[in-house]
Structure formats: structure tokens, C-alpha cells
Chain A
Amino acid sequence: MLDLLLRALFGGLGVAAVAGPLGAFVVWRRMAYFGDTLAHSALLGVALGFLLDINLNLAIIVLCVGLALVLVTLQKKHIIATDTLLGILAHSALSLGLVAVSFLDNIRIDLMAYLFGDLLAINQADVYWIYGGGLAVIALLVAFWKPLLAVTVNEELAKVEGYPVEAIRLLLMLLVALVIAVAMKIVGVLLITSLMIIPAATARKLSKTPVQMASFASMIGCLSVCGGLWASYRWDTPTGPSVVVCAALLFLVAYTLPFKRLR
């Protein structure tokens, strides 16, 4: 039992640590709905992974990146407002995923675990994926921190100064896709975005530089995982939602208590 809990804690902390800084970018660039869309499509990735018998994490990443590319292409054509487009894609992808899963007669999938996450069900291989993927994400974030931030702050200035804006935007999408694939087991497709944006939003209140916000978001995410797991253990609540509730409570605390707002 303790083994199980420790592994869950270990995995959860890994996910939260990565989701924090990336969540900051999602908040800064107002990509929350975009992240949701990618997350919702992850279920389709799972179904396709089973159908084609390929690694699930890989299937999710490929599908997320593919969808991100489709999104960017459609967005450029200005066929329809972006939020409408995202709404269409998000729910179509989710529904398509649910339909596809229903075709998998001979394989039993715990749908709830994929939708809302099951921290206690992660195995050793998942932990490797979390830390492998997580380290890759962190390494890329550190290596490309300045261009990523420059493009986020002002794309036109960045472009005039010679940053490869399109490539950087693509990199960010790739990172979001990676985090979704990695975090999916923990909080599920419906709650991933919250694990990215709630800690980041909470960290905003306490930070005066981007680096501070990104690292505080990591820490707050880790706190939420600890709190959520503890609650889950104590009261037998579902782990994924417990983690999100904990993150939301921390957000409330940060914004209601009279902390001195750093400027």
C-alpha cells in the first residue's frame, strides 16, 4: 500500500513540476481552450493506440501534434472564429475518441481512468514516461526559454529581431502535447488543463518575473498533488479531481488572503 502511494506521489509530483511552467505559457498566451482541445483529442489517441497496437503515449503525442498543426492551418484561413473552431474540434475529437473506444470489444478500457485520471493505477513504466518526458520538456523549456518568452511577449518584435517565430510557436505546441500525454494518466483528459492553468494562475499573485511564476507554479502544483493524494487516501475520494480541488483551494487562498501583491 505504501509502495503504491509512494509511486503515485512520485509520478504526480513529476507531472505537476512540468505542468507548472508550461501552464504559465498557456496562461500568458491565452491557450487554455487550445490546451483543452488537445487534451480532449488525447482519448482518440488512446483508442487509436489500441487499434493500431502502438505505444499509447506515442499515439497521444502524435495525435496531439497533428491536431495542433490542423488547428494552426485552419486558424490562418480565418474560416471561422477561433473559439468556435476550438469548440468544434475539442468536442468532435472527444466524441470521436469515445466512439472509437466503443469499437474496442476485446480490450477492456477503464474509461473513467482516462477521463478523470487514476493516480493510484500508475505503474513503473508510467513513472519512466513521466520522468523521461518531463525531463525532455524541462530541458527544452530551459534551452529555448528566451525565444519562447520573447515570442510570447510580442511576436512582431521577436520576428523583427530575427527569432524564428513559427518554429517557436510549433515548439510550444509540441511541449503542450507532450505534457498532456504524460499528465493524462494522472488527472485524465478532462482535467489536464486545470493542472496546468490553476497553479500558474495562483503563482501570478506571488511573482514579479516570468521565471518566478513558472517555478512557483511548479511548487504549487506539487503541493496540490500532495494535498489531493492525502485527501484521496484519507477520505477515499477520486485522486484526479481531489488534486484539482486542492489546486483550486490554493488559488482561492492566494487571492483572498491579503498577501502583498508583488509588482
Chain B
Amino acid sequence: MTTQATETGPVIRFTDVCKRFGEKVVLDGFSMELSRGKTLSIMGPSGVGKSVTLKHAIGLLTADSGSVEVFGRDISEATSAELAEMRKRMGYVFQEGALINWLSVGENVALPLRENTDLGEDEIRTLVEERLRLVHIPDAWDLMPSEISGGMKKRVGIARALITDPELILYDEPNAGLDPEIARSINALIRELQEGLGVSSLVVEHRIDCIKTVSDEVLFLDGGKALVQADPEEFFHSNHPRLARFFGKESA
């Protein structure tokens, strides 16, 4: 009963989350929600805790206080088996790709299927080739991570995150290190996944063109709190003094 109710609620909900590393307070009463099937982008100065937020959402970090709910379940209360099941419904695109360096591109993308499903090799190969085509690297199967560029690693990371058809994808700077053409195609892909498949996405990004393309909502994180959360139109026309200062629009 409860599961049914929560499964229709927000995909991610942060409530008064606090996190400190030693003396440094990174999140200080941070709250936000990501609605099902929507894309929320998080913006903010460097070192403000954007990636830390993503890591909380997937259970790589635990909040000092407050709660992080994903698919209606408090992550801190989930057992490791429950957490593993939740993670199978999620994809995570790391900033540098985080490809397993001793596996080829194809083996990297196939890894979640080989480890967590009973699919046959032929079926896995078809799915992997399909995902590699989707991120515009159809012939990269046999290349090793050390042989490919940073942008290509990012695309392999996206293909790997997509391979299990996740309901929720967390992107850590999906445009970093990509040329404008590939960046546009990645942004279009994020949008397509949301519109076509109803995938919910939480995106950490600095590039305004990416945020404008992919987001349903934008959140500005600063001082450990969500200062502004609004749709892109409203966000980029906001009169909030901190946002104005961030975008260099502050009057003299």
C-alpha cells in the first residue's frame, strides 16, 4: 500500500539534508524534489556540493542528518540488498566516465547485463551495439579506455548507464570535455530519454546551453542550500541577487 503511494510520488526527495566533511559544511539543510519523468538540473559554484548531492541520491554518501528518499524509500534505512535493487533501477554517468580500465568499451557497456541478468551473449551484444549507436560510437566495441578521448569516455559512460533501461539517471556534468557538436547530441539524447521513455534525470551541469535544453526545472545550490528552484525560463530571468552575481549580471 505504502509502496504504491510512494512510487507515484517524487522520484527523489531530499529533506533538510546536512553533510559535512571534517570542518567543511557542504549541505546545510538542503531540500529538493525531482518529480517522476522530469529533468532537474543543479547549478552552482564549484565545490558547493553538486556532485555530493548526486552521491547521496545513489547511496555512495550518507547524510549526517535529514533524509534522502529515492523511489519513496529512505536510502539510509535500506539494507545493502535493497540498495542494490534500487541501484539497478538507476543509472549514473560519472564526470570522467569511470570506465573499468581493463575492459574494452563493449565489455564496459555489457558489464551490468553480464553481472545482473541472465541474458545470452547474442542478446547482450545486440543491446550494447544499439546503445553504442545511440551515443554515436558504433565501432568502438574493441577499443580500450586508454585508447579513447575524454569525450568518448563520457559517451561510453552514458551508454553504460542506459544499458539497463533505468527509470532514473544521474548525470555528473554530462557536457564536460565534449565539443559543442557532441554536447548538443548528448543533450538531445537526455531530452529524448525523458520525453520518449519517461526517464527521470538529475543533472549536475555548468553549461547554460545544456541546462536550457534538458531541464524541466533548474536548482541553484549555494551555501549548502537550494536558493532558487524554478523552470529554466523563470530561473534565467530571476532577480535573485546571488544568481545575478553568479551570471555576472549584477549592476554596478
| A-B interaction | no
